[in-house]
Amino acid sequence: MLGALGAIAIESRASRAEDLESRARHASWIAGEALAACGLWVRAIDGSAAGSIICVAEADAPRVLAVLAAAPALPVADALPWSVRTVLRVLGVPMIDAPIPGVRALVAGDGFDATNAHVIEEPTGYRVVFTPRA
């Protein structure tokens, strides 16, 4: 498993995209591959329902990776716990400093008008459901 995660981290640094949308897709690929290397799978329930900002309420590293795998986005570094930022940096996930118009952003906690991402643990991984914030 560590060898696979190391290979993902190396490849993520070697294939840096210039435009933000490509970086969001790359972040999604990294997240999905990292979870798969751990034997975990992600099922998205209506990934198209994810808005321009996605909020993960219980933001630990596996849940954030599951949401990224379900809907391409760029994590907002300052809006995530330091432990999650550390894991994302080690894996080579591209991040941004603040939400940017035109690219989906991922945050944790309140303070943003965002779509909620509910991450449900299943025996083989995670199910991600997106719902509008009420």
So what's the pLDDT on residue 2? 45
pLDDT digits (tens, 9 = 90+) for 52-95: 999 998 899 999 999 999 999 999 999 999 999 999 999 999 99
The model's pTM is 0.86
Q: Yes or no: say if 66 and 124 are a contact pair by the CB < 8 Å rule.
A: no
Buried b (16+ CB within 10 A) or exposed e, 101-115: eebbbbbbeeebebb
Strands 125-132, 115-122: pairing is: antiparallel
Strands 105-108, 53-56: pairing is: parallel
Q: Yes or no: say if 78 and 97 are a contact pair by the CB < 8 Å rule.
A: yes
pLDDT digits (tens, 9 = 90+) for 12-56: 554 566 789 999 999 999 999 999 999 999 998 887 788 899 999
